[in-house]
Amino acid sequence: MPLFDQELTVLNVGLSAFADAIRLAGGKAVEIEWSPPAGGDRSAGLTLARLVNDPRVEAANRAAFAAYLAAEPVLEGIGRAAEVIPGLRGRTILHAGPPIAWQKMCGPMQGAVIGAILFEGWASRENAARALAERGEVLFSPCHHHGAVGPMAGVISPSMPVWIVRDPASGRRSFCNLNEGLGKVLRFGANGTEVIERLAWMATTLKTVLEATLGEAGPIALKPLMAQALHMGDEVHNRNTAATSLLLRRLLPPMLRSRASRDDIAAAIAFIAGNDHFFLNLSMAACKAMLDAARDVAGSSMVVAMARNGVEFGIQLSGTGDCWFMTASPVVDGLYFPGYSIADAAPDLGDSAITETAGLGGFAMAAAPAIVKFVGGTPDDAIANTRAMGHVTLGSNGGFTLPAMNFAGTPAGIDARRVLDSGLLPVINTGIAHRQAGIGQIGAGITHAPLACFTQAVTALAATLPDE
Amino acid sequence: MPLFDQELTVLNVGLSAFADAIRLAGGKAVEIEWSPPAGGDRSAGLTLARLVNDPRVEAANRAAFAAYLAAEPVLEGIGRAAEVIPGLRGRTILHAGPPIAWQKMCGPMQGAVIGAILFEGWASRENAARALAERGEVLFSPCHHHGAVGPMAGVISPSMPVWIVRDPASGRRSFCNLNEGLGKVLRFGANGTEVIERLAWMATTLKTVLEATLGEAGPIALKPLMAQALHMGDEVHNRNTAATSLLLRRLLPPMLRSRASRDDIAAAIAFIAGNDHFFLNLSMAACKAMLDAARDVAGSSMVVAMARNGVEFGIQLSGTGDCWFMTASPVVDGLYFPGYSIADAAPDLGDSAITETAGLGGFAMAAAPAIVKFVGGTPDDAIANTRAMGHVTLGSNGGFTLPAMNFAGTPAGIDARRVLDSGLLPVINTGIAHRQAGIGQIGAGITHAPLACFTQAVTALAATLPDE
């Protein structure tokens, strides 16, 4: 056996026990991380094999990805939700993630809904608000069904102000509510007096100032601003310090030229300057616009939404219309604030994974090494996350470059086939809410989109593409 | 010769020809970059050998470095130069770098001096201003001799507004003029009507607004702001986008609460928001404060100033008082704006290398990968520059951490002995001025402090430390 007389180069795939035996015998073995396609699900694996290299899917993905790249979302204005969001009528409340009934909602989402009912004045006390929801006198609908997105609970009610973002290429509009800051805030399920009063101030003073400012400023292109923030340590999901600062710098001169009063301007500026996350909701609306541009391309396996309602994690593909592919939302094993642990956490929540779907957030972590102080890990992990996502995406976005990776574009356009094939799950930077309403954020961390969503999605896509 | 029967590991020091011969014969050789201490200057090398490991120098450097680390510069206010800078009296004009006479000044510095004379009203036309300087009716003095610093020409005349930075630990004050923006500006030697009018506006409206703002805000700690900017892609020398944005966010609420008029505030904000370099001059004043804290420790080889007057490059050591060690200022081989080349460049100019002296700028390039688009090279080069500076510095500054280097502190406290020993020259990110007055910036790039300054400095320091 001359093979065993020389030094062996052993690559081990699968069970570690084989490599262990070699090591115990004094040899060296490299373990290759590998898992069978579709996590070993034979039926899904066969379906996947049929779609891999299918020229119909390849062509559809090229079209969808090109549409995503071509979108140039601009901040057009701010408006009252009921007046600008299509289909938001009467006692309707929008929420994050796929559809969900009141009874099934997680604590923070129920808390946010109650807060929205109080804010709207449909009830004047918490119990009455809860009863209203339980009696079915409030309609619930996902933000995503209305061209909108919202972070965490993602609750948008008719009287709230929303950002209006337009993509001139498609003519479509996208919407997002305004960021309230940290601490006790509606999106984490808080609904006390300070929360409702802040929402009222945002719907009046802040909206008035921003309306006057944007009227004076004209449309503001969002992609260049986001691209600059990526060069300044943001990934525009969980870190928006630079983007918020740049936005404020952009808004200030028109704000001071506008007809808004000095006191209102001072209050608006203090509010925005005091909240590093203020830009997040604009980032989300911009990402929504880029991905809506890629929707409804028959045969495309490109993911156009990933969203969580705090109970279920859902994704949508360009080639399967408005269908959601859902499974239980994971609980995030992240960095918890002092006094809290994973036992206190609500399952993953919010539409903010729209940023990862657009190639930002966790996909652009290489741009934001400092974020590891917030979500855990090391700067090398941040770069590794971005690099890994290159294996499950259709291309890179040259509009969003990463200095730490020699100005490579951020990986973008998740291909559900590649996720299912490789088992490399889309990485998401996320905040963590307490599972009870009203307590707020208790941590942040990195989570992954569950494989089951992709299994279902690829199976459903295959059903639209009969064998020729 | 059994040695040559096995595979050789060859390290080659010195002439490449030896390594080439081995490679031609089919072997492998690694070339080690090495140069003899003191660049081969036997006398300086012997002097250096005497100071290496000298316990007096080691103890002095520990004290100087600790004083540098302990400084906590705060922005205290803004004032008229003649009223706040010690020794700036009558027709005196401060300038960048070591002392220099009018006749020897480079084009941009003469241009800036003429502009300052016009701004002060000591003459009303360029020719008259030039004649005044030629007749010796204006006194010239380096900024550094007055606790001040200034970028490029570094011209500060009595009526200009200056930042006042104080270090509570030492009680000392440092000063810097205010950044004018890019294009035709005094610091690059321009002195036309628009330049003088802008200076007049800065001395009145901008000063009034900032005075009112800082009165309302109270002292602003500068190191935390700079540290945050390092996490946002700035190195606070040639890239100040984040720091300027963060400063503006910090100043806005007090500015709007202040007694300044709305029109003046609007104009001040438009000016600051329109200039990514606005923070540079504050960064310089803060660095000056940190390094002045380390001055005058007998026996210390720590560099406390590196500055250029456009003709000569000078350094000062903690252990040698106010002596300058000078040699010809190099011309920077950087990235030139279209239409310009190295033939058009003035030699290296300005006090802004105070940032590198304090462990920022080129020393903190790892924080600012995007700066390579401005000064040349790749993000890997940026990290390599920071890493190299670790070989010539006394320690690292834990107050200024670098995400891309796993949050290591920036290398700081240049030890003139180590520079002379290793030949590794301090790296400086710098702007490049046209050699003629009035044209302005024509590029940017990376330059190095010349070895000759360190040879002289170490020799002079040795003279203060007799053999025991």
Q: Kindly compute the dihedral angle of the four CA atoms of residues A179, A183, A184, A188, in this order, to the nearest 10 degrees.
A: 60
User: Are the C-beta atoms of B281 and B165 separated by less than 8 Å?
Assistant: no
User: For chain B, which residues lie within 8 Å of any Cβ of chain A, measuring from their own Cβ?
Assistant: 228, 231-234, 241-242, 245-246, 248-250, 252-253, 256-257, 262, 265-266, 269-270, 273-274, 369-370, 372-373, 378-380, 403-407
Tens digit of each residue's pLDDT (9 = 90 or more) over A358-414: 999 999 999 998 888 888 888 899 999 999 999 999 999 999 999 999 999 999 999
Residue A1 confidence class, pLDDT cut points 50, 70, 90: low
* Tens of each residue's pLDDT in chain B, 468 residues: 677 777 778 898 888 888 888 888 888 889 888 888 999 999 999 999 999 989 999 999 999 999 999 999 999 999 999 999 999 989 999 999 999 999 999 999 999 999 999 999 999 999 999 999 999 999 999 999 999 999 999 999 999 999 999 999 889 999 999 999 988 999 999 999 999 999 999 999 999 999 999 999 999 999 999 999 999 999 999 999 999 999 999 999 999 999 999 999 999 999 999 999 999 999 999 999 999 999 999 999 999 999 999 999 999 999 999 999 999 999 998 899 999 999 999 999 999 999 999 999 999 999 998 888 888 888 899 999 999 999 999 999 999 999 999 999 999 999 999 999 999 999 999 999 999 987 888 999 999 999 999 999 999 999 999 886
Q: Please name the residue of chain B whose CA is at the shortest distance from the CA of residue A259.
A: B262
Helices A107-120/A126-134 angle, 10° precision: 110
**Hey, what are A392's tokens?**
């499950």
Tens of pLDDT along A166-217?
999 889 999 999 999 988 999 999 999 999 999 999 999 999 999 999 999 9
- Residue B397, φ and ψ in degrees, nearest 5: -100, 100
Distance from CA of B243 to the nearest CA of A (A): 10
Q: Which residues of A touch B (CB under 8 A)?
A: 228, 231-234, 241-242, 245-246, 248-250, 252-253, 256-257, 262, 265-266, 269-270, 273-274, 369-370, 372-373, 378-380, 403-407
Alpha carbons B204 and B271: distance in angstroms, whole number: 14
Q: If we measure between CA atoms, which residue out of A296, A305, A303, A342 comes closest to residue A434? A: A342
Chain B residue with minimum CA distance to A408: B379
Which DSSP string do the residues of A264-292 spell out, in sequence order? HHHHHHHHHHT-TTTTHHHHHHHHHHHHH
What is the SS3 assignment for B325? strand
Q: Are A45 and A38 in contact (CB under 8 A)?
A: yes
User: Is B256's CB within 8 Å of A265's CB?
Assistant: yes
Helix (H, G, I), strand (E, B) or coil at A55: helix
Minimal C-alpha gap between B224 and chain A (Å): 15
Instruction: Look at B248 and A248 and tell me if their CB atoms are within 8 Å.
Output: yes
Q: Report the alpha-carbon distance of residue B107 to residue A376 in Å, rounded.
A: 53
Among positive and negative, which fits the CA dihedral B413, B417, B422, B423? positive
> Quick one: closest CA in A to B408, which residue?
A379
The candidate with the shortest Cα–Cα distance to A325, out of A252, A416, A262, is A416
Asked if B385 contacts B427 with a C-beta cutoff of 8 angstroms, the reply is yes
Q: How many A×B Cβ pairs under 8 Å?
A: 96
CB contact under 8 A, A369 and B403: yes
CB A189 within 8 A of CB A436: yes
Which one of B233, B250, B257 has the shortest CB-CB distance to A233? B233
Report the alpha-carbon distance of residue A154 to residue A157 in Å, rounded. 10
Tell me which chain A residues have a C-beta less than 8 angstroms from the C-beta of B252. Answer: 248, 252, 269-270, 273
- Average model confidence (pLDDT) across chain A: 95
Of A231, A266, A378, the CB nearest to B406: A378
Q: d(Cα B65, Cα B318) in Å, to the nearest integer? A: 10
Gyration radius (Cα) of chain B, Å? 23
Please tell me which residue of chain A has the smallest CA distance to B269.
Answer: A253
| Residue A14, pLDDT score | 80
Give, in order, the Cα–Cα distances in Å from B390 to each of B301, B308, B395, B444: 16, 23, 7, 24
Predicted TM-score (pTM) of the model is: 0.91
Of B250, B262, B369, the CB nearest to A403: B369
For residues B346 and B106, the answer to whether their CB atoms sit within 8 Å is yes
Which has the minimum average pLDDT: A119-123, A245-249, B373-377, B381-385? B373-377
Coarse DSSP helix, strand, coil percentages of chain B, rounded to the nearest 5 percent:
45, 20, 35
Which residues of A are less than 8 Å from B379 in CB distance? 403-407
Distance CA B213, CA B201 (A): 17
Chain B nearest-CA distance from A260, in A, is 11
Among all chains, which residue has been given the structure tokens 């040899």?
A: A27
Instruction: Characterise A173 by phi-psi region: left (phi > 0), alpha (psi -120 to 50), beta (else).
Output: beta
Q: Which of A242, A253, A372 sits opposite B270 (nearest CB)?
A: A253
pLDDT of the residue at A2: 74
**Are A250 and B273 an interchain contact pair (Cβ–Cβ within 8 Å)?**
yes
Q: Which of B234, B253, B274 sits opposite A269 (nearest CB)?
A: B253
DSSP for B245-283, written as a single string: HHHHHHHHHHHHHSSS-HHHHHHHHHHHHT-TTTTHHHH
Which of B241, B274, B404 is closest, CB to CB, to A369?
A: B404
**In A, which residues are within 8 Å of B405 by CB distance?**
379
Are A422 and A404 in contact by the 8 Å Cβ rule? The answer is: no
Residue of chain B with shortest Cα separation from A266: B256
Measure Cα distances from A96 to A152, A153, B24 in Å: 7, 5, 67
Helix/strand number for chain A, H first, E second: 17, 18
Which tokens hold the place of A436? 């009870």
The CA distance from A412 to the nearest CA of chain B, in Å, is 21
Q: How many helices (H) and strands (E) does chain B have?
A: 17, 18
- Inter-residue contact A76 to A302 (CB < 8 Å): no
Shortest CA distance from A378: residue in chain B: B406
CA distance A436 to A421: 37
The beta strands (E) that lie in A161-311 are given as 161-166, 173-177, 220-221, 303-309
- State how far the Cα of A68 lies from the Cα of A72, in Å rounded to an integer: 9
pLDDT bracket for residue A468 (50, 70, 90): low
- Binary contact (B242, A233; C-beta < 8 A): yes
Question: Best interface-test mutation with A: which of B220, B252, B275 has the largest number of A CBs within 10 A?
Answer: B252
Backbone angles phi, psi at B70, to 5 degrees: -75, -20
Beta bridge partners of A393: A414
> What is the predicted ipTM?
0.85
Q: What's residue B7's pLDDT?
A: 75
CB contact under 8 Å between B245 and A250, yes or no, is: no
Provide, as residue numbers in chain A, all residues whose Cβ is less than 8 Å from the Cβ of B274: 253
Q: Label the pairing between strands B408-414 and B393-402.
A: antiparallel
Which domains are seen in chain A, by residue range? Answer: 2-32 (no CATH), 41-68+295-463 (3.90.1700.10), 74-285 (3.90.1710.10)
Number of neighbouring beta carbons within 10 Å of residue B97: 32
pLDDT digits (tens, 9 = 90+) for A54-88: 999 999 999 999 999 999 999 999 999 999 999 99
CB A357 within 8 A of CB A351: no
Written as six digits, the tokens of A278 are 């203020």
Tokens linked to A261: 């009063």
Nearest 5°: phi and psi at B403? -55, -45
Considering only the beta carbons, identify the residue of A266, A379, A380 that sits closest to B253.
A266
Q: Which residues from A are below 8 Å from B265, CB to CB?
A: 256
Q: What residues in A contact B376, CB-CB < 8 Å?
A: none
Q: Which two tokens stand for residue A32?
A: 């290759």
Q: Do A232 and B246 touch (CB under 8 A)?
A: no
Find the mean pLDDT for residues A449-458: 97
Q: Which of A320, A314, A315 shows the shortest CA–CA distance to A300?
A: A320
Give the integer Cα–Cα distance in Å for A380 and B403: 10
Chain B residues touching A372 at Cβ < 8 A: 403
Of B228, B372, B403, the CB nearest to A379: B403
Beta-bridged to residue B163, according to DSSP, are B78, B176
The CA-based diameter of chain A, rounded to the nearest angstrom, is: 89
The sign of the dihedral angle between the CA atoms of A385, A387, A390, A396 is positive
Task: Give me the sheet containing B427-433, strands edge to edge.
Answer: B335-336, B441-448, B427-433
Whether the CA torsion A281, A286, A287, A289 is positive or negative: it is: positive
Residue A75: strand pairing partners: A165, A220
Q: Which residues, in sequence order, are CB contacts of B406 under 8 Å at separation 6+?
A: A378, A379, A380
Q: Do B273 and A232 touch (CB under 8 A)?
A: no
> How is the beta sheet containing A427-433 ordered, strand by strand?
A335-336, A441-448, A427-433
Contacts of A404 in chain B (CB under 8 A): 369, 379, 404
